[in-house]
Amino acid sequence: MSALSITPFTVAIPEATLGDLRQRLAHTRHAAAIDSDGWSAGMPPQVLRTLLAHWQDFDWRAAETAINAYPAFRTEIDGVGLHFVHVRGEGPNCIPLILTNGWPSCFLELLPLIPLLTKSVNGLAFDIVIPSLPGYGFSDQPLEPGMNITRIAALWARLMAGLGYARFVAHGSDMGAGVVDRLRANHAGQLIAIHMINVFSGYPADGALAPEEAAYLAAAGQWRAAESAYAMLHASKPQTIAAALNDTPAGLAAWIGEKFHGWRDGGLRMDDRAALDALCAVLTVYWATQTIGSSQRLYREAFADAGAMSPPPRHGVPVGVAVFPADILPAPRTWAQRWFDRCDWQAMPRGGHFPGFETPELLADELRRFVAALPAG
């Protein structure tokens, strides 16, 4: 395997891009709405106005400085340019850990874990690698079909080997969980273990269902009927919605902000400045890199990926599953254990779809607990 060519990378969004963004926000044309609908019809108009005002005043340069405090790099693997953050832990014998986000998040969600996991606690510390998925943030946008989670898993395996890690732990949420499961399926020899937020509900279950599994799958069917239209649109006509969201920051904010409300424990409060800042940082990355369309296209690729939609192979790679109560369709223990032989399932006390933003300490503690409990060797 050839060595990777790695170059340092600094986030530096041009001032012209930020100025254009502020101008577009200032000239938003707000759609008519029925206020009594609340969130049931999408983001309420007054919430959107408040969010856009916050975004217009958001100090991106301060956020950019904080982002650039962590060493970041670019490399190319199989013709795909990848952005990643790489921070080594304290002391010798650190455990390599690659972290992968899902949609509609980005690598920023995982940065709060860095100081929590690189610090040595009871002799355990981690080397952290946080790549941006292809089509997300500062990684290249795929220019041809086929960039699915199976192929991304192969890129991650090459990246970790190129960084000098013969074996590593992989953690992911949402689409990132799919990537780490494909790592387990196809690159088990490089893995110490994998850890996921939740378990995919779409595997075809054989045999009798436990009562909690039957209730879970019934809830999944109800959720798909009521809430999954966004995913179907991403999977079927991603280019159509991309044309709208790539050209209007108000539309982008509503599309992503609604999910940051609905999938967050306690919702998105307009008086929670830290949560609004985190959302505006994510929105700015999507806007400046013009990756909302390419990020959504991953749904199309994932749904067409036969391997990813099939039950995972059963073998000896240890699997950790942390289920946050406000996430989309938190899976019961029996559903996780149906698919994984060596499954450590944990119900988290609070948190939702974005634990790196919402509850980073809880997630870091859970990752430490899981890795510390792994058998030696």
Neighbours of 44 (CB within 10 A): 20
Residue 202 has pLDDT above 80, yes or no: no
Q: Could you tell me the CA-to-CA distances from 221 to 218, 226, 236, 263, 330 in Å, in that order?
A: 5, 9, 19, 17, 13
Q: Mean pLDDT, to the nearest integer, of 67-94?
A: 98
Task: Kindly state the tokens that stand for 370.
Answer: 């899981």
Q: Mean pLDDT, to the nearest integer, of 278-291?
A: 99
* 329 vs 97, more confident: 97
Mean of all residue pLDDT scores within the chain: 95
Residue 207 has pLDDT above 90, yes or no: no
Percent of the chain with pLDDT over 70: 99
Residue 29 has pLDDT above 90, yes or no: yes
Q: Mean pLDDT, to the nearest integer, of 140-148?
A: 96
Neighbours of 50 (CB within 10 A): 14
Residue 28 has pLDDT above 80, yes or no: yes
Phi-psi region of 42 (alpha: psi -120 to 50; beta: other; left: phi over 0): left
Taking CB atoms within 8 Å and a gap of at least 24, the contacts of 215-223 are 216/329, 216/331, 216/332, 216/335, 219/329, 220/329, 223/328, 223/329
In contact, 279 and 255? CB cutoff 8 Å: no
Residue 131 has pLDDT above 60, yes or no: yes
* pLDDT range class, residue 39, cuts 50, 70, 90: very high
Q: Which domains does the chain have, with CATH numbers?
A: 41-372 (3.40.50.1820)
Q: Mean pLDDT, to the nearest integer, of 70-77?
A: 99
Distance CA(300)–CA(296), nearest Å, equals: 8
* pLDDT range class, residue 2, cuts 50, 70, 90: low
- Read off the pLDDT of residues 219-277 as tens digits, 9 standing for 90 and up: 999 999 999 999 999 999 999 999 999 999 999 999 999 999 999 999 999 999 999 99
**Whole-number pLDDT of residue 377:** 64
Neighbours of 341 (CB within 10 A): 12
